[in-house]
Amino acid sequence: MNPRRKQRLIAVSAIVLVMAGAVSLMLYALNQNIDLFYTPTEIVEGKNGAKPQPGQRLRVGGLVVEGSVERDPDSLAVSFDLMDTGPKVTVRYQGILPDLFREGQGIVATGTLQQGDVIEAEEVLAKHDEEYMPPEVAEAMKGIKHVKPSENTSY
């Protein structure tokens, strides 16, 4: 092989290796920050044949079970059960809950799955009014798919 071609081949190979390493590091970093959405049933029974692993970051949406909210009198710690149509999961949260948070209401919590069906939440979001439900929760619970008003032509 011509020495000049050999140098070009080494340079191109080095560039390809560096690019592959950079893309691998980016994908690894993004994988750490992806929060997949689950319903309580999907956490307990699995989603598409795979159950979330303890330590995995996720978002969970469902209804707060009535009578399940327990507040610690000495701190801002609160725990409550969350359910959809199936089993319940327990959400533990340290902080001030949204003003609209109450039992029987749909919420979305972001956090880390602990052992079993316990989620250590970092953020809890409540719905805005009685009719609103997060689209992902509505689709998971009732099979209702959100349609933009411009796409709905049946007046």
**Cα 93 to Cα 50: distance, rounded to the nearest angstrom:** 26
Cα end-to-end span (Å), the chain: 74
Interior angle at CA 51, CA 45 and CA 56, nearest 5? 130
Per the listing, tokens 């950079």 go with 22
Is 128 known to sit in a ligand binding site?
A: yes
Is 146 known to sit in a ligand binding site?
A: no
Residue ranges of the annotated binding site for heme are 128, 132
Binding site residue list: 128, 132
